[in-house]
Amino acid sequence: MSEDEEPKLSVPEEFYISVVQTCLHSLGRRGQTRHNPLEMAAHVQKIFRVPNSIHGKILKDQYSKAPETYLLRVTIIEARDVLQMDPNGLSDPYCILTLCRKPVGKSPNKWHHSQSVPEGNSPLVGSSIDLSTTPPRPDTLSLPISVTTSKSTPSSPFNSPRVSPISSPKGARLGENSPFHARRNTAHHRSFGRSRRRKSDSPAGRYQITQTELGLDAGRMRSNTEGDASKLVGNMEEESLNRTTVKTETLHPVWNETFDLEVCDANIDLLELRLTMWDWDEETSLWEAFKSLDSGHKVAGIRNIVRHVKGGINKSTDDYMGQVVIPLVDIPNATLVEKWYQIHRHHTPHHAGKVHLKLNFVRKQKPNEEVKEESKLSHYHKLAVAFYEYEGEKHLRETGTPWDGQISALSQLVLNDYAVQQGIHKLSQQLIHLSALLSFHHQKSVPYTPRPSLIARQFCFDEPDTEQSPSPGGQNKFAADNSPKKADYQPVRKGIVAGSSSVKELDPVLYDKGIREATYNVHAETIAITSLCLYEGQAKSVAEMYENNPDFLVFEMGLAEMSVCCYADLCLKRVLDVPPLFPASGLDGLEVLQTKCRLQNVHTLLSMKVWKNTETAPHRLVREILTSTIKQSTKAWLNQRLTRMPKIEGNLKPHELTEILDKLGEIMNELCGVCKPNKDYKNFFVRYHMDYYHIVAQQVDQQITSCLLDALSKLNQYQVTYQKFPENIAQSSTSSLKLYMMVKKLAFVLKQGVPDRDALQFYEFHLWFQEPLIFWLSTFKHETFERVRRALDMDKDVVLVHQVVKFSNSAVDVQACFAKVTEEWQKIGFEGPHPRCVAITKVTELICEGARLYANRVHWILEENGFYREDKETKFDIKDKLCITLNNIEHVRVYLDNLPKLLQWQKNVQDLAKEHNDVLAGKRTLETLQRLTRTASENVLMQSSTLEKKIANRMCNEVSKFMEHVVNPTEDEDHLDELMGYIDQQLETLYKQLLPQIYPRIVEDVWKEILGSIASFMQIGKPPVYYHNLRASLESLEVYFQRSGINLPSCQVKTKEYVNLDDQLKVNSKTTHELMLEYYKRVAADVAMSEEYLGHVGIKMIYGNEKKTKDSKDDSGKESRTVILKVCNCVDLPGMDRSGLSDPYVIVELLPETSLASHTVCQTRIKEQTLNPKFDEIFRFEDIPVSLIESGAVIGLTIMDHDFLVPDDYIGEVFYPLKLAQEIGNLQTVNNAAVVMLPIRRPYATYSAEFEVIRHRSQWDHDAKQFLVKRTRAIEKQKKRTDRPAAKTQTSVFASAGNALLSLCC
């Protein structure tokens, strides 16, 4: 610079002046450990290389311009463990912030958070009236807050001060439209504190705050009228109140609201910040307060109500909860204070909770001064870049070693002061520091040419040959207006030629530790923001942080994205010098890549929590560079292999086609080996949100697919040409099937890296082999039929394969052939529901025809050998060849039952139905497959059943001869053992020779024949002992057929025939007495309404009497009872005489007649000419065994019509079980028992097993004969009624019975 030329600033003068002001004038009280302001200003001069003349002028001009006022920024984050003020045990807290003068001549209260203010040194006149010591007075002046100018920001942690952009709306209005006013009209909760803040009844004055509440009295107001009183006291509108919102029903409120309070620098030593917490209450009555008591907090609620009664029940006041007093001198300058403060309450030794606050001083914007937030951040970025460049160059110049990224304490102090005074958030500072550090690295690195087109695509810069792409996430305000331009990041070192392709080792100008520490600082600040509050629940995610504030960190993130992109592009320039990235060779190649390209630093930068997502410009840039490198390595490897393969041109000869298919198979096989997922490579690239094997698979798919399709096209032409020559088709099918298996294997390997089916064309390989599939199945069918014929021709002697195996070689060969076909199909695993179902149908049909062919040829061989000829004179003998042949047929047939599982019918038809969106299509396909196997199995079983029936019939003829003697044995003869011996001998032979699945079918046929023989030979009407013996024989046979060796299942033993036979034997084995008990028990339990209504009879029955109710014992020592019966009356009896009336009486007897040694029959008196007789007669039955009562004995009531000259007419009968008799107390009689109305019935002829057995025994059993005669007379001799009543419904029947019961009670 010449002598005449005036010195100039290298930076904008406004920017430099703001930095000097920061150094000279700190906000608040200066700490003891800070540097001298002139020293800080000199440090700034040195960094910016400002001439002394200019610096001295600015210093002299700004030294006396200290700010008179600035702002105290208070953020009320949350509180915890506040007082319970409402009856429900909770509170509705809100806070009021004020700036007040300290008390004069008075020591601070114990709740004052002060450590440095001496007592009584305030020059102000007057003293403050503390809210907690002086209750509100009715005549206090209603005064808005006057010492501060408030800007309330109900913010989240993301609306922090001076992040880009700042959002500082005014606080919520406290008028009628506020949520507090709306909630006034409800009456859910009410707290009753003694210290209260009064409310005005008018909407406008309801939320005004008194002087007393603000800590100001009239004397202080008078003193404030002089000097700076105009700055401290004045009228303020309702909107400027420093009041938080109300958090309802909580003891741990979370606000996150920010307020700016104006502070006069001259009086900072005399001011203190007061935070007063109130509980917002509703106007409610005492009764409503009691109703709102919470069950979990009744004690606290009642205590609050009692306190409320003392102070007055319906006063419109909020409850005082406590306050926090913080002297401003305790808030250090250039520091963001964040801590928990104790809430104190007057006359309360315990704390009233804690509140979490953030406090710091910021500069106040001058009147008519509009400073954009981006401008402040831009100035701070310039300052940080200059400081980092100065500190880094100084370190390199003095030590010659790489720099660790740490700046001096003086530089850090200037940066911190500037950021705090400008209200720049800590996270914004860390992002700008990181950008400045990376910018220094760019400038001091070796010659470096960034990739302009690549970086331009990430930031949507206009390029001649590249289309602009929209930035992720929609519109980007920073990219449009405030983003750094591309020219700002061009190389700054001299001697660099743009477009140079030379790549050299990076200069060691910066330790990796420096970058990582800067990154970790950003990460830590991000975590601190997202998890700001203790009681707000789970921490917010970064995505939610940006969603709540779309303009958050726009400028800072733009700087970070550009600097990280340039750093990553510089590091990845060396990616071409590392070993090829395909195939995956191991950890050595990855270590070289990570070392040369410094990917550890790149990964650390990309892993910062502050990124919105993984689609930012740095993420996309790194992915694009690495993806391009992987693709180039894969392409080079494939081209090297494909060039060795013969050309696919013209009409190929058989050996040429085979060679091409074999070469392709070898390439596929080699690809299967190199494409298997390597965890080291996969995990390495996942760190950069890349899928290594997805990239490889895409490149393989692109090059291999076209080559494979050309080869298959030539194969299809060849097979159509030579389709009439089986040898050529077999040779080409073998090669194509081998190629298919290699392609399938490769597809499986690629799917492990790329599971999405739509991602690659290679996944549709099954469609390419649909035409070769037809020739594969044709070859399978031809080979299967030839093998079946050869197997039977070679097995003419029907010799066992082995002593353990029960079939011959032919069955083994045929089933092995079927298994080979199934195995080949499973290996093919053809994809595509439609072609797969067609192929499965063909395979199923092929195996079914093979099984049918085998069974038919075996049957033809048996007929030729005379196995079906029947000779009655020759004793039946089971031959080994016959059993082996039967086993062979079954062995082949069983394979058909396994086809649904082996070929996966159900899964394939479901896939088919899903593909066509037609359930009916899948159902029809499944029915076709089932019909094929069912028809084939039936045909094979038809051949097998001929042999089985022959064996069973011959055995059953011999069994029948023994069964006749078993059922009707003679004396001293046991034919059962002879029968079992014969069956055992025959079944043992079959057990040894037949297959397990055939043997049970023959045993089952023998068992059915035995049951039929017993039923046919059994006689009826025999004594019970005859049936006891016969049932014992049946049980012995049952045990025999279920024993080990025969193992006939229980379900096959206890067939319907067995159950019927066993029931018949059980009934015939009972005595006549037991049969009569069963008969009467069943009749008494029948509650169905009879077809004809015959009336009701009312009885009372107990056991015991007035004096003796305990059970007695008879002479034999058995327990017995005395039963007392009272016949009360009858209602609605049928008329049996000509007059339409009857002469009824009731016969009472204990049934069955054989129950007691002496049968007693009792009778009531005759009631003449009535249909509703009333008897009231009592009958006593003594010494009835309890066992007889429990077994079902009944009381029989027979209603008769008395006649002269002719026998009495039978009206009906009733049977009532003895066990239903009521038990009464010692002092009660039968008259105390409840009446039971029983419907009168007439018996009718129905089938009963007991009755039929008694009828058959009546020929030789006297008791049975008497029972039969008596019941037959009751059934047959039933006279018709003469009154001819109208048909009665069930309702009318119940009404008649109810009326009769009512008459009895009366």
Across the range 1160-1189, mean pLDDT stands at 91
Of the listed ranges 425-439, 593-607, 1146-1160, the one predicted with least confidence: 1146-1160
Residue 797's pLDDT band (boundaries 50, 70, 90)? low
Residue 467's pLDDT band (boundaries 50, 70, 90)? very low
CA dihedral 852, 855, 858, 859 (to 10 degrees): -100
pLDDT at site 1109:
38
Assess contact for 714 and 657: CB atoms under 8 A: yes
Of the listed ranges 232-241, 295-304, 675-684, 981-990, the one predicted with least confidence: 232-241
Residue 1185 pLDDT > 80: yes
Residue 193's pLDDT band (boundaries 50, 70, 90)? very low
pLDDT digits (tens, 9 = 90+) for 711-755: 999 898 888 888 888 888 888 888 888 999 899 889 888 887 777
> How far, CA to CA in Å, does 790 sit from each of 91, 786, 796, 852, 855?
96, 6, 11, 15, 14
Residue 342's pLDDT band (boundaries 50, 70, 90)? very high
pLDDT at site 732:
87
Q: Bigger pLDDT: 504 or 835?
A: 835
Other residues' Cβ atoms within 10 Å of the Cβ of residue 1163: 15
The model's pTM = 0.57
d(CA 145, CA 99): 9
pLDDT digits (tens, 9 = 90+) for 1214-1228: 999 999 998 877 767
Residue 973 pLDDT > 60: yes
pLDDT at site 338:
87
Q: What ranges make up the beta strands (E) of 245-309?
A: 254-264, 271-279
pLDDT at site 1042:
87
pLDDT digits (tens, 9 = 90+) for 548-591: 777 888 898 999 999 999 999 988 888 888 888 888 887 888 88
* Contacting residues for 695 by C-beta, under 8 A, at least 6 apart: 627, 630, 631, 634
Residue 64's pLDDT band (boundaries 50, 70, 90)? confident
d(CA 173, CA 245): 10
User: How would you list the strands of the sheet with 337-342, edge to edge?
Assistant: 152-154, 254-264, 69-80, 354-362, 337-342
Of the listed ranges 47-56, 515-524, 1198-1207, 1296-1305, the one predicted with least confidence: 1296-1305
pLDDT at site 1163:
93
Residue 1144 pLDDT > 90: yes
Of the listed ranges 483-487, 1075-1079, 1299-1303, the one predicted with least confidence: 483-487
Across the range 1084-1103, mean pLDDT stands at 86
In the chain, % of residues over pLDDT 90: 19
- What is the DSSP secondary-structure string of 192-233? --SSEEE--SSTTTTT--BHHHHT--HHHHHHTTSTTHHHH-
Residue 1299's pLDDT band (boundaries 50, 70, 90)? low
Residue 1169's pLDDT band (boundaries 50, 70, 90)? very high
pLDDT at site 230:
34
Assess contact for 517 and 405: CB atoms under 8 A: yes
pLDDT digits (tens, 9 = 90+) for 613-656: 889 999 999 999 999 999 999 999 999 888 888 888 778 888 88
Across the range 1199-1228, mean pLDDT stands at 88
Q: Please report how the helices 554-571 and 617-642 are oriented relative to each other, as an axis angle in degrees rounded to 10.
A: 30
Mean pLDDT rounded to a whole number for the chain: 76
- Tokens, residue 246: 């109300």
Residue 152 pLDDT > 50: no
pLDDT at site 788:
85
Maximum CA pair distance of the chain?
170
Across the range 318-334, mean pLDDT stands at 86
Q: Bigger pLDDT: 1045 or 415?
A: 415
pLDDT at site 983:
82
Of the listed ranges 701-705, 766-770, 1078-1082, 1175-1179, the one predicted with least confidence: 766-770
Assess contact for 233 and 225: CB atoms under 8 A: yes
pLDDT at site 936:
92
Assess contact for 848 and 898: CB atoms under 8 A: no
pLDDT at site 506:
44
- Tokens, residue 461: 């810069």
Across the range 895-915, mean pLDDT stands at 90
Q: What ranges make up the beta strands (E) of 585-627?
A: none
Residue 236 pLDDT > 70: no
Residue 336 pLDDT > 50: yes
Across the range 1173-1188, mean pLDDT stands at 91
Bridge partners (DSSP) listed for residue 545: none
